[in-house]
Structure 1
Amino acid sequence: KGTNLQGKAFELGAKSVNTSVEVVISYTGDFNDIAKGKEAALALISTGVDVIYHLLDNAAPAVLQTAQEKGIYAVGNTTDQLDVAPKAVLTSAVQDVGGAIAYVANLVKNNQVKGEKYILGIENPEITKLGRLNDVLPEEVKQKIEETQQEMLAGKLQFKDCSEGSQEKVCIK
């Protein structure tokens, strides 16, 4: 469920830049199977994808290195993965899962937790942020990334849960 929402959020961001972008989602069924990760990356690349955004654990380096070997771009996840494949990784969606758990645990400790969904975004940069930006990105793209982050922090760009048929999605408010 959470990975599906991240994929939908990635699609929303891509379509905000180019409405004709097609996002293809592929599941390996195993966050740690290196062979499956590489196989999935090769299959996606063979269909002509330009960028791969993974949601993997131990299989992540294989996907990123395969993207680099095949000359396409990638977006890292969980940690700043630019060094794993420096010619491929444009940036990373850095998430401190332990920090998120500690954040909610602290709410519980202080009797402040409510029966609601907690989404910890870039307003909590110690938990969620972008990794380093690859130097291959043009300056105007880097500026657009910064402007978009500032719009989000100022509350000018907000998101909400929505659905399309039976699929959960993320939409712009």
Structure 2
Amino acid sequence: MTTKLRNLFAIGASAMLLAACQGQDASDTGSSTPADDTTTPDTEETAEFKLGMVTDEGGVDDRSFNQSAWEGMQAWADENGYGADAVDYFQSNDAQDFVPNLNQAIQAEFDIIYGVGFQLAEAVEDVASSNPNQHFGIIDSVVEADNVISLNFRDNEAAYLVGVAAAHTTETNKVGFIGGIAGPVIDKFEAGFVEGVKSVDPAIEVEVRYAESFSDAAIGQQIAAGMYSAGADIIYHASGAVGNGVFTEAADLMESGSEEQLWVIGVDRDQEELGEYSGGNLTLTSSLKGVGAAIQLASNEARDEGFQGGENLIYGLAEDGVGVTEGNMSEEAWTAVQEAMESIISGDIEVPETPGE
């Protein structure tokens, strides 16, 4: 299965053009607003296979993790010529919404229901055990059940590469990492980033902070303000919508005439658009995660060949499951990143998954 991911980001690229404009949350028992159609009534097919997703906190318009998954599902419906009713999402404002949203999705009779994010693992496991005939997917965790497929990523490999980029770019020799909620998944981002920075120059200081949220942009802005004022000139965030606050703070400081060139490193999808300010763009690069494309591929296989419950599919650089954008890197930094990528794929560099490993 993983060999099919060689062109993962190419498969998912069209998803970036689709807007998030559909869905329900746990408090909404009515029908959702249809997504914009790119097909005409004469060519649109009635979907014989339907996908639902339950978001992690942060919402489907978090410009990061949830949004990339939803864009992938919209692209899947569009590329198969299905109507808007082929896909839908159920938005979670917090963990209490997970089970109600999963149950709503079951009632809507989707062929596969994806729980987007490791925080949904327990809810998916519980609901799946009570509904053995319903197929589920879990992103960024493993649920060992015959009716659940698990999709995971070597985020530490992409994080290592943006760490290399940060080390070749910093002018202050101090950079920052802001994580969302601490745990095995975000650990991989932290571990890879720190290792990538230190591989270039062990003397560079890396400040690590956690927001304990994936949705509170104000906390992200507050933490970023402290890091920049303490001398960091680059911040990598792995924090969902919290990262929107990081971009806001960097842009505000640059607009106010910062003496240092400040940068933000995006996560999960190309976040260059978030770095726009009057003087240019402050997104150095973004680590990419092919969540939407992986959902597309797993769903197509389930539809065409049968659902492969119990599988844990893991996607890294070798499978084009994670990656980085060139962004606004210098030629020197981009060359170093490409060399590091080749070394990871060849096995010459083994990136840790746990901080301090």
Q: Identify whether the pair has TM-score above 0.5, normalized to the shorter chain.
A: yes
Equivalent residues of 1:80, 1:132 under 8 A apart: no
Residue number in structure 2 paired with 1:164: none
Equivalent residues of 1:37, 1:60 under 8 A apart: yes
Please tell me the residue identity of whatever aligns with 1:149. M
Residue number in structure 2 paired with 1:78: 268
Separation (CA, whole Å) in 2 of partners of 1:110 and 1:84? 38
Residue number in structure 2 paired with 1:129: 323
- Give the direction of change, closer, same or farther, for the CA distance of 1:17–1:119 in structure 2 (3 Å limit): farther
Question: Could you tell me how far 1:30 is from its partner in structure 2?
Answer: 1.4
Residues 20-75 of structure 1, C-alpha deviations (whole Å, 9 max, x = no match):
11111111121111211111111111211121011122232221232233241111
**Which consecutive residues of structure 2, in runs of 5 or more, have no partner in the other structure?**
1-182, 254-260
State whether structure 2 residue 342 is matched by structure 1 residue 159.
no
Residue number in structure 2 paired with 1:23: 206
Residue number in structure 2 paired with 1:58: 241
Across the aligned residues of Structure 1 and Structure 2, the Cα RMSD in angstroms comes to 2.7
- Give the direction of change, closer, same or farther, for the CA distance of 1:8–1:159 in structure 2 (3 Å limit): closer
Equivalent residues of 2:344, 2:351 under 8 A apart: no
Please tell me the residue identity of whatever aligns with 1:74. V
**Which consecutive residues of structure 1, in runs of 5 or more, have no partner in the other structure?**
162-167
State whether structure 2 residue 281 is matched by structure 1 residue 91.
no
Please tell me the residue identity of whatever aligns with 2:355. K
Bigger RCO of structures 1 and 2 (CA < 8 A, at least 6 apart)? 2
Residues 113-139 of structure 1, C-alpha deviations (whole Å, 9 max, x = no match):
36xxx64221222x31112421xx321
Separation (CA, whole Å) in 2 of partners of 1:65 and 1:59? 10
Structure of larger gyration radius: 2
Residue number in structure 2 paired with 1:169: 355
Equivalent residues of 2:264, 2:282 under 8 A apart: yes
Residue number in structure 1 paired with 2:9: none
Normalising by structure 2, report the TM-score. 0.40
> How many residues of Structure 1 are paired with residues of Structure 2 in the alignment?
159
Equivalent residues of 2:191, 2:352 under 8 A apart: no
Matches within 5 A, 1:106-145: 109-110=307-308, 113=311, 119-125=314-320, 127-134=321-328, 137-145=329-337
- Name the SS of the counterpart of 1:123 in structure 2: helix
